[in-house]
Chains A and B, each alone.
Chain A
Amino acid sequence: MNAPATDLALLRSDTFRKERQDEWERLEELLTRMEKGRLRRLSDADVLAMPALYRTAASSLAVARETSLDAATIAYLEALVQRAWFQVYGPRIGLWRWLRDFLGGGWPARLRQMWLDICIAFAVMFAGTLVGWLLCAGDDNWFYRLVPAGMAGGRGPDASPQLLSESLFGGGEETEGLSLFATSLFSNNAGVSILAFALGFAFGIPTLLLLLYNTALLGAMLWLFFRADLGWDFIAWLSVHGTTELTAIMLAGAAGLHIGRTMAFPGNRAIMAAAKSAGVRAAVVMVGVVIMMSLAAVLEGYVRQLVTDTATRFVIGGSIGALWLAYFVGAGRGLTAKSGRAGDTP
């Protein structure tokens, strides 16, 4: 070979480019429309063609890297394939549809994967309540240490049974500011549960402390009302929103614990991979917790104040609790194998 024989003939890499350029440009045009959020204006044929066009472009890129020295073409293909990859492997589901699938079974399915953490959170909360009770039973002063003055609102070991009784049944005249009260409660409680979850980062220990403290407070209140012979009335009063709120707190704690436990004991996976699968699963559970918290706030703000009869309160609280249990145990059974593992992959 003396003189290169390419005087008039195109380079092989140029022929390659010319043959495929139309396909690349079709893909680019599709991508531009998708990126602008005009998904609805895409025909079904276009949407179906997308993955195939992506794979063609990807293989073009692989070939070009091996055979072409046209830097501009390679750079173009690199960017094009990346844009297509974002679309093909992006979250193609909007927030609303995700929420629908989630409530339709994805959430209970995930919860059941964390059963151990839920058991631990429950045990810790039970222990916290017991400790709160026993501390107060041993020494009245513990009540003041456990329950912040603002929250006790005059309810304390020195309060008359009458005052305690009023705090349970005297909701009538307070209905004025109720909805505002409920909303700020919700915002506050949801914040606390997100905190319990997020503290799971530090290997779950702060989460456990938070659960322990909050339930010790509950134990102290229980002790107080039982001492005044109002124990069951207090439980009924609490159950209206408590079956929802306490369950939500337990699930938030379990979610935090799940992250912490997985990071402390990643098993034979890399710690990053373990943190990822546990973190995603726990975070998704938290979306449900926030929803529960908003329901609890409505129950606490309206229903509990409007229904003042102990038996009715028990019926309302109990049946809501039973509904949650049935939902968590039963819903989304068929999905467990499929979507329940989505957080683990890829």
Chain B
Amino acid sequence: MTPLVPDAGAVRTVVTPEGLPMKLALASRGARFGALVLDLTIMAVTVLAVFLLALWAANGAANLERSLEGLAIVVILFLFFFKNGYFAFFELGPRGATPGKRAVGIRVADRSGGRLSAEAVIARNLLREVEIFIPVIWLLTSDWGSLVSWLGLLWFGIFSFFLFFNRDRMRAGDIIAGTWVVERPRSELGDLLSASEGARGRSASTGATYRFGEEELSVYGEHELQVLERVLREDRPDAIEQVAQTIAAKIGWDAGSGDERAFLEAFYAQLRARLERGMQFGNRKKDKFS
């Protein structure tokens, strides 16, 4: 399972049109860079393939000069529309992300929590021309050290650093379009922990019954419950043993050894029952200190 909260500093809450506050994790700058490199590579390879294909087709033609001209036209037109259409085409499709973004697990979302409009996607991608393509072409077509190459570098630098100068990691295109790039969530429903045999207080292996009283359950809060849940889901024998010992010591039990998992399952289910009952009455116990 992916961590529940990837990076606390990168989580933003938006309110959906239904009024539900929803947590979105901003994509890391590294992931975005990786996605961009992937997409540009895919684009370059495709352009090269089209070029070779056109060259091959032109080679067979009778009038070579004329077909070379045709070849140049095909390549220029293809380059132009591909360059300006690739990103928008994929981000407007049902997958909502370019192949590069898909590969690193990120996608574009609307900053306000509302609908991501087609216009916004087109706007954010049109700005790429200015952010990347123009300065890079300047860099590639001018001599190193010339004024134009320095200007291109400066230009490119300014737009690249946009991502670092605002806390929401927006590039210029995102600002214009009102978008940001977030992680694509994955969801798998874990097993119902509180429904196992052990959780009902009876150990499957020893037949022993674990029942805890109010006082014993009152030492822990929600935070500890979630730590316990994670330990049970990860199911590492050493961790389970250690946690069982800690809890037994804290509540003054001598559970013995060999049946730690059942002990913890029972404790988990009963602690959760107690805390959830408390929630219904409006008292939440955040952790053992509260």
Q: Which A residues contact B (CB, under 8 angstroms)? A: 1-4, 6-8, 10-14, 17-18, 21, 24-25, 28, 34-37, 39, 55, 58, 61-62, 66-73, 75-83, 85-87, 89-95, 98, 177, 179-180, 183-184, 186-187, 190-191, 194-195, 197-198, 201, 259, 272-273, 275-276, 279-284, 286-287, 290, 342-343, 345-346
Residues A179 and B73 in contact in the complex (CB < 8 Å), given A6-B270, A37-B93, A346-B115: yes
Which chain B residues lie closer than 8 Å to A290 at the CB level? 84
B115 touches A93 (CB 8 A): no
Given the known inter-chain contacts A12-B276, A13-B276, A283-B127, please indicate yes or no for A276 contacting B176, CB distance below 8 A: yes
Residue in A closest to B70 when the chains form the complex, CB atoms: A179
Segment among B106-114, B141-149, B253-261 that sits at the interface with chain A: B106-114
Most buried by B among A1, A82, A275, A343: A82
Which secondary structure characterizes the binding site on chain B? helix
Give every chain A residue within 8 A of B211 (Cβ-Cβ).
Answer: 3-4, 7
Q: For A83, give its contact among B185, B189, B192, B276 (CB under 8 Å).
A: B185
B122 touches A69 (CB 8 A): no
Knowing A76-B187, A89-B17 are in contact, say whether A1-B214 is a contact too (CB < 8 A): yes
Query: Are B276 and A8 in contact, CB atoms less than 8 angstroms apart?
Result: no
Query: Known: A11-B273, A34-B94, A346-B115. Is A83-B177 also a contact (CB below 8 A)?
Result: no
| Candidate in A28, A83, A92, A282 with the most chain B CB atoms within 10 angstroms | A92
State whether A283 touches B194 (Cβ < 8 A): no
Q: Is the CB of B20 within 8 A of A81?
A: yes
B176 touches A78 (CB 8 A): no
Map CB proximity to A onto B87-122 as digits: 1 under 8 Å, 0 otherwise.
011011111100000000001011011111111111
B-to-A contact residues, CB < 8 Å? 1, 4, 16-18, 20, 22-24, 69-70, 72-73, 76-77, 79-80, 84-85, 88-89, 91-96, 107, 109-110, 112-123, 126-127, 129-130, 134, 172, 175-178, 184-195, 200-201, 211-214, 217, 222, 225-226, 229-230, 233, 269-270, 272-276, 279-280
Decide: B80 and A71 in contact? CB cutoff 8 A.
Answer: no
B50 to chain A, nearest CB (A): 15
Closest residue on chain B to residue A197 by CB atoms:
B126
Complex Cα gap A72–B3 (Å): 11
Which of A85, A183, A345 sits near B77, CB closer than 8 Å?
A: A183
Q: Is the CB of A89 within 8 A of B116?
A: yes
Assuming A6-B269, A13-B276, A276-B177, is B187 touching A342 (CB within 8 A)? no
Picked from A91, A95, A346, the residue with its CB within 8 Å of the CB of B17 is A346
Known: A94-B92, A283-B126, A346-B17. A4 touches B273 (CB 8 A): yes
Closest to A31 in B: B187
Specify which chain B residues have a CB less than 8 angstroms from the CB of A81 in the assembled complex: 20, 22
A36 — which chain B residues lie within 8 A by C-beta?
95
Contact B123 A284 (CB under 8 A): yes
B114:A85 contact, CB within 8 angstroms: no
A187 touches B273 (CB 8 A): no
Q: Given the complex of chains A and B, what is the CA–CA distance between A90 and B94 in angstroms?
A: 8
A198 and B80 alpha carbons, distance in the complex (Å): 17
In the complex, A72→B275 CA distance in Å?
16
Q: Which of A28, A179, A198, A280 contacts B130 (CB 8 A)?
A: A198
Chain A residues, CB < 8 A from B275:
69
Pick the residue among B113, B178, B188, B280 that contacts A280 (CB under 8 A).
B178
Q: What would 8 A/B residue contacts be, using CB atoms closer than 8 Å?
A: A17-B192, A70-B194, A73-B189, A76-B190, A79-B185, A80-B187, A276-B120, A346-B114
- B123:A279 contact, CB within 8 angstroms: yes
A275 touching B175, Cβ below 8 Å: yes
Name the distance in Å between B6's Cβ and chain A's nearest Cβ. Answer: 12
- Asked whether, in the complex, the Cβ of A69 is within 8 Å of the Cβ of B272, the reply is yes
List B contacts of A72 (CB < 8 A). Answer: 189-191, 193, 229, 233
Q: Tell which of B72, B84, B185, B222 touches A180, judged by Cβ atoms closer than 8 Å.
A: B72
Assuming A71-B230, A94-B92, A194-B130, what are 12 further A-B pairs, CB within 8 angstroms?
Answer: A2-B213, A11-B272, A14-B192, A69-B222, A70-B194, A79-B187, A82-B185, A89-B114, A93-B118, A194-B126, A283-B119, A283-B123
Closest chain A CB from B218 CB (angstroms): 12
What are the 6 closest A-B residue pairs judged by CB atoms, nearest first? A279-B176, A346-B114, A283-B123, A72-B190, A79-B187, A276-B178
With A72-B193, A73-B189 as known contacts, state yes or no: A8 contacts B272, CB within 8 Å. Answer: no
Q: How far is the CA of A275 from the CA of B124 in the complex (A)?
A: 12
